[in-house]
Amino acid sequence: MLPVRNVHAAMRAMVAAALALCAAGGALAHHSFAMFDHKNKITLDGIVTDFQWTNPHVFIELDVAADQGAIKHYSIECASPNVLQRLGWKFNQMKKGDKVKLLVNPLRNGKPGGMLEEATLADGRVLSDGNPPGGVFER
Amino acid sequence: MRLLLVCAAVMLSPALAAQTATVPDITGAWGAYPGFRNGPPDPRFVPPPATEMRLKQPYAQAYEARRKAEKESDARGEPLANASTECLPNGMPAMMFAIYPIEILQSRGQVTIIAEAMSQVRRIYLGAPQMKMEETPPGFYGHSVGTWQGDTLVVDTVGVKESVLGYRGMPHSDRMRITERIRLVAPDVLHDQITVEDPVVLEKPLTFTYAYRRMPGYEVLEYVCENNRDYVDEQGVTRMRLQER
């Protein structure tokens, strides 16, 4: 098992290789990631309401404290379970009630959703989602 | 005596000899070569570049227009819907791209290829006659027959649905024929040289090669598209379904 930071570096290399492959004439695993703002990153501190270890994407449902005691709910898309598993994620490492910090590329349409870049778990571990750096997959 | 009889039978029957000859062991999980965390590829095993994709009209014009529209819509952050939006499988030949690992199983009379992405399965019937194109029910993977020619598994595929887009989103007709030459170029490196012929859509055959590395011990994971949050709005744009609190 690679240390988490090495996993990050490995994932960046993996994504670069995937992009190169895609540019060379490949296929797309699921969809274009153009709906997310890859130039913008927001940090969400919140409480997990659901961790969905599902295809085609893993989702983290998150409650974030807003102004005057209100709660804003976010749906955060992650990579697929097989990609995350190969990166060292586990299906049960996040659960309802966990306090987490998520670094996210928000939806470009302003709705409360986004794509995960990095998750800091309740125990302090940091896990990458391995997003394409700033970009859209070429097909 | 029995041995002599067997030897005689083999000598008399080239077909039988071909069937009983040892074929390469390509069973197991394979990932795209060189893959991740594996360093740079060995130049000896890097596949040759693809030949030029030359589409006939009006397909060429439609293809370019679609690529342009995709690029523009992506730039606006409003990706156009495509097959992947609906979680449809890649089909042939795109599934052989192996964005996630593939698994090859060799059994009597059949080679089966399973792609982890979307749990796609194709069956290659060894030594079986190919169906006539016009009688092959269209499907995502088509109908595949194969033979071992020396160290190379040669596979012929017809009957891929016209809605299944191929290499770089290439369109095709019901006259498309795919010929694959699958061969170990090293004990743990496999090449699939894929040639697509389509007299309706292509000016000339297109050939490209995918390379794979053996992944000993890797267990291919299930992939059921149960939580597809993508949907297509009235403008044909892909949106993400958010969950209410």
SS3 content of chain A, % helix, strand, coil (to 5): 20, 35, 45
Q: Which helix (H) or strand (E) holds A105?
A: strand A99-106
Q: Is B79 on the interface with A (CB under 8 A)?
A: yes
Average pLDDT of the residues of chain B: 90
pLDDT at position B192 over 70: yes
Please state the rounded mean pLDDT for residues B86-109. Answer: 95
- Most B CBs within 10 Å: which of A11, A55, A104, as the mutation test of the B interface? A55
Question: CATH number for the domain including A74?
Answer: 2.40.50.140
Cα–Cα dist A16/A95, whole Å: 31
pLDDT at position B238 over 70: yes
- Residue A9 has a CB neighbour count (10 Å cut-off) of 13
Cα–Cα dist A128/B115, whole Å: 25
Cα–Cα dist B196/B156, whole Å: 10
- Residue B124 has a CB neighbour count (10 Å cut-off) of 24
Partnered with residue A71 across adjacent β-strands are A65
Q: How far off is chain B from A134, nearest CA to CA, in Å?
A: 12
pLDDT at position B59 over 50: yes
Is residue A39 situated within a structural domain?
yes
Query: Residue B44 to residues A7, A118, B123, B174: CA-CA distances in angstroms?
Result: 28, 37, 30, 36
Q: How many CB pairs under 8 A join A and B?
A: 122
End-to-end CA distance of chain A: 31
Specify the pLDDT at position B21. 66
Least confident of A21-35, A122-136, B12-26, B171-185: A21-35
Is residue A134 situated within a structural domain?
no
Is residue A72 situated within a structural domain?
yes
A36 lies in which domain range? 4-128
Which percentage of chain A shows pLDDT scores above 70? 71
Question: 């690029």: which residue's tokens?
Answer: B71
Is residue A64 situated within a structural domain?
yes
pLDDT in tens, A14-70: 443 443 343 334 444 556 788 999 899 999 999 999 999 999 999 999 999 998 999
Is residue A81 situated within a structural domain?
yes
Helices (H) and strands (E) in chain B, counts: 3, 11
Could you tell me which of B113, B188, B201, B117 has the C-alpha nearest to residue B157?
Answer: B113
Please state the rounded mean pLDDT for residues B185-203. Answer: 98
Residues 149-208 of B with CB under 8 A from A: 167-169, 208
pLDDT in tens, A86-97: 888 999 999 999
Q: Is B39 on the interface with A (CB under 8 A)?
A: no
pLDDT at position B81 over 90: no
Average pLDDT of the residues of chain A: 78
Is residue A83 situated within a structural domain?
yes
The total number of structural domains in chain A stands at 1
B194 pLDDT tier (thresholds 50, 70, 90): very high
Contacts of A110 (CB under 8 A, 6+ apart): none
Q: Minimal Cα distance from A73: which residue of B? A: B245
Is residue A111 situated within a structural domain?
yes
Q: Minimal Cα distance from A56: which residue of B? A: B225
Cβ atoms of B52 and B203 closer than 8 Å: no
pLDDT in tens, B103-129: 999 999 999 999 999 999 999 999 999
Please state the rounded mean pLDDT for residues B176-186. Answer: 98
pLDDT in tens, B151-170: 999 999 999 999 999 888 89
- Most A CBs within 10 Å: which of B71, B74, B167, as the mutation test of the A interface? B74
B20 pLDDT tier (thresholds 50, 70, 90): low
Question: 């097989």: which residue's tokens?
Answer: A82
* Widest Cα–Cα separation across chain A: 51
Please state the rounded mean pLDDT for residues B197-220. Answer: 97
Phi-psi group of B185: left, alpha or beta (phi > 0 → left; psi -120 to 50 → alpha; rest → beta)? alpha
Is residue A61 situated within a structural domain?
yes
Specify the pLDDT at position B6. 47
Residues of B in contact with A24 (CB under 8 A): 50
> Which domains occur in chain B, in start order?
23-240 (2.40.128.20)
A137 pLDDT tier (thresholds 50, 70, 90): very low
Asked if A10 lies within 8 A of B37 by C-beta distance, the reply is: yes
Cβ atoms of A130 and A13 closer than 8 Å: no
